[in-house]
Structure 1
Amino acid sequence: MASVTTVGAALPAEHRERLMRIAREVSFDEGTRLFEEGRRADRFWIVRTGTVALDVHVPGRRPAVIDSLGHGELVGWSWHFEPHVWQLGAEAMSPVRAYEFDAVTVRAMCAEDPEFGRAVAVWVGQVLAHRLNAARIRLLDLYGPYGSGSP
């Protein structure tokens, strides 16, 4: 069964097809930074192949990885919420092929078609909830006296 964070599981077929019509195929070499925390969020990606690590800036240290994303998963949600600034950073952990989407175009599509907009908002919300839970588990594993208790 597909994860709720993948576009295939979260968006109804008609909305997924509409979104995919504006996709642009891109690729990133291993080690490429897709975006930096605090910068303008003007696009997002759906991973086709490879792995992308989400990280948070830690002063004086390497960014702390909080999650890794693979096939079919959404990379980037900050584009959907004002002030449209990245809340995390992202780096290709292997060669990555992805579909790229222009955030301004997708937000305009959402505004023009409330049903499409609702479907995209629910999808992004599911992704955000999943990422928040993953970050919570990671923090418990790192700092909790007994870890998260997850297998």
Structure 2
Amino acid sequence: MLDIVNLMNESFVPMVMITGVALLILGINERFSRVMDRIRNIHRDILTGEIKGEKLTESFKEQIKTLILMAKILRNALLSMYFSVFFAVVSSISILVSFLSGYSLVPVMLISMIFSLASLFLGAVFVIFHIIFSLRAIEIDVKNL
């Protein structure tokens, strides 16, 4: 019974990390979807001729470039967060294998947790860059009013 309690205690950090990062992924994915929808809508409006005028068309093309940059940043943030979850799962599995087999897999646990935290940090950096660039698209949009 005590061994199961120890297993639960050791697995707690990776499990909480997986849950927290999954919530971050959900929020970032929502932002990513909105950026992609905005790109599609502007592109459709340009192709159908709803956006008329050389100056206005160029403005929207510039906005699309900024939105594509934002989409790439969000894609990188999502990939980093998914890697964070992957390494947290590897850490949990190594804890379970260590518990069941009796072999010490501490190096695997530590390395996978370090990679998980590093991926989470990198994803947070990408989200910060997205926040910085998100204002640029709005500035382009408002400039033409």
Q: TM-score normalized by structure 1?
A: 0.31
More helix by share: 2
Identify the structure with the greater strand proportion: 1
Bigger radius of gyration: 2
The TM-score, its normalising length taken from structure 2, stands at: 0.32
